[in-house]
Amino acid sequence: MPTDLFIALRYLHSRRKSRFVSLITWFSVGGIALGVAALLTVIAVMTGFEEDLRDKILATNAHLVVLAHDPVGVTDVAGAVATIRKEEAVTGASPFVLTQVMLSTPGGVSGVVLHGVDPATVGDVSHLPLDMKEGKVAALAEPPAIVDGDQRRPPLLIGNELARSLGVWLGDDVAVISPQGEPSALGGILPKIRTFRVAGIFETGMYEYDTSMAYCALTEAQSFLKMGSAVTGIAVKTNDFFHARDTATRVQTALGSPYWARDWIDMNRNLFSALKLEKVTMFLILTLIILVAAFNIISSLVMVVMEKGREIAILRSMGATRLFIRRIFLWQGSLIGCTGTLIGLVIGLILCTVLDKWHFIQLPGDVYYFTTLPVRMQASDFALVTLAAAALSLLATLFPAWQAGRLEPVEALRYE
């Protein structure tokens, strides 16, 4: 064991007259441990929130969508789908129609986004078939129900929260009202109204989606909006959503004008940018806890330097260099900081594991995207927090160590 490390360990051992200094040292260790544990827990929760939100968004939405610079939409659907499927990274493609409508029932009224989808291929680009709580996606391919001899009731899939707010269930009728109506004889606009029958209930796990989305067959949406054979766009799924932007660029190049592609990052840029900014902000704010504990290290080491002035002078008289003296206190501060960091790391790991295994913290689903607190422990985040705590602890030792190295033996021993 190096001599300077041995002396540093001896200085950490409290004697009767230096119990107060030792108490400050333990406060420093506890402060760093508390800061590290809090920072690790918050970062793990925010990482889990971001990843779970991303997974839920990608489960409901495609990795990228192909649109056309045309008011009508995509007209050559078969040709575009064939070209998209030639891209090696593409694993699925499905045309869709997208519009905003209002659903009306005797139990209530709600504005939703109506998706016209192909029942045969929608499962290639989303988890809708897996999210079905009642009924199946295949029900969209069934012929419309006939009521009173001639009134057709096309099938409709709605979210469970939407069904609850409208007061409907399987087999109930829902009036779909589109603001994109037709001119009337009096010069006004008559909204389009068609009655659908609830054929399925889905649950994505996101309150926002379950209250604002509905699905019908692609052909029914085209007929309702009088789009002919055109569609709003083509949803595409890739084998790696992290490289969806590169795939979107290649698909857009292969299709040429007037097509253009948007990946899931562009479509949710504001949301994920806000989450990233919030994560960085919380990291900086909680790092202040560690910084406060680092100031305790400074104060405790300064008091040790004042208390050990006679011993330092004797070491200098025996030939110890200024660098040797400084290394003693660098070791002492580093030991305090590393001990607190390791304790905080263990506490953070235990706390994150408990939160991840036992979901005893419940969240209101109508306020947050999740019903339980998500936790994701990443080695990179833990390494960053550990290095930050260790760096702050080391920086806190520089001033006391520098002061100890400046101590002159004659001045320290003058009154001894």
- Whether 249 and 290 map to the same domain: the answer is no
DSSP state letters, 187-249 = SSEEEEEEEEEEEEEE--S-HHHHHHEEEEEHHHHHHHHT-TT-BSEEEEEES-GGGHHHHHH
Rounded distance between C-alpha atoms, residue 305 and residue 18, angstroms:
12
When mean pLDDT is compared across 141-155, 345-359, 377-391, the lowest value belongs to: 141-155
Q: What is the pLDDT of residue 334?
A: 85
Percent of the chain topping pLDDT 90? 42
pTM, rounded to two decimals: 0.77
Closest CA to 288 of 41, 42, 32, 30: 32
List of long-range contacts for 372-375, beta carbons under 8 Å, 24+ apart:
373/45, 373/48, 374/45, 374/48, 374/49, 374/51, 374/52, 375/44, 375/45, 375/48
- Whether 245 and 294 map to the same domain: the answer is no
- Whether 48 and 105 map to the same domain: the answer is no
- Whether 236 and 312 map to the same domain: the answer is no
> Coil, strand, or helix at residue 408?
coil
- Whether 36 and 122 map to the same domain: the answer is no
Q: What is the pLDDT of residue 401?
A: 83
Position 373: which residue type? L
Average pLDDT over residues 20-38: 81
- Whether 89 and 158 map to the same domain: the answer is yes
Per-residue pLDDT for 130 more than 90?
A: yes
In a domain, 101, yes or no: yes
Parallel/antiparallel/unpaired status of strands 145-147 and 155-159: unpaired
- Whether 232 and 322 map to the same domain: the answer is no
The tens digit of pLDDT for each residue in 72-108 reads: 889 999 999 999 999 999 999 999 999 999 999 998 8
Q: What is the pLDDT of residue 157?
A: 97
Q: Among 227, 256, 285, which residue terminates a domain?
A: 256
In a domain, 308, yes or no: yes
In a domain, 65, yes or no: no
In a domain, 238, yes or no: yes
- Whether 213 and 335 map to the same domain: the answer is no
Please state the domain count of the chain: 2
The more confidently predicted of residues 67 and 16 is 67
Q: What are the angstrom distances between the C-alpha of 226 and each of 22, 76, 180, 222, 233?
A: 81, 16, 10, 6, 16
- Whether 179 and 301 map to the same domain: the answer is no
> Coil, strand, or helix at residue 410?
helix
HEC string for 14-49: CCHHHHHHHHHHHHHHHHHHHHHHHHHHHHHHHHHH
Q: In the chain, what are the helix, strand and coil shares in percent, each to the nearest 5? A: 55, 20, 20
Q: Which two tokens stand for residue 328?
A: 């003693």
Indicate the average pLDDT of the chain. Answer: 85
Structural domain span for residue 84 = 70-256
Q: Among 202, 233, 256, which residue terminates a domain?
A: 256
Q: Among 228, 256, 284, which residue terminates a domain?
A: 256
The tens digit of pLDDT for each residue in 104-129 reads: 999 889 999 999 999 999 999 999 99
The tens digit of pLDDT for each residue in 253-282 reads: 999 988 999 999 888 888 888 888 888 888
Q: Which two tokens stand for residue 413?
A: 């021993």
CA 131 to chain centre: 21
- Whether 296 and 389 map to the same domain: the answer is yes
Q: Which residues contact 217 (CB under 8 A, 6 or more apart)?
A: 116, 117, 118, 119, 140, 141, 154, 155
Rounded distance between C-alpha atoms, residue 84 and residue 63, angstroms:
13
In a domain, 64, yes or no: no
Per-residue pLDDT for 337 more than 60?
A: yes
Quick check: 193 and 109 in contact, CB under 8 A? no
In a domain, 359, yes or no: yes
User: Helices then strands (H, E): number in the chain?
Assistant: 14, 12
Q: What is the pLDDT of residue 279?
A: 84
Cα torsion 51, 56, 57, 59: sign: positive
Rounded distance between C-alpha atoms, residue 282 and residue 100, angstroms:
37
- Whether 193 and 285 map to the same domain: the answer is no
Place of tokens 């900086």: 284
- Whether 189 and 302 map to the same domain: the answer is no
In a domain, 263, yes or no: no
Quick check: 64 and 267 in contact, CB under 8 A? no
When mean pLDDT is compared across 235-239, 270-274, 411-415, the lowest value belongs to: 411-415
In a domain, 262, yes or no: no
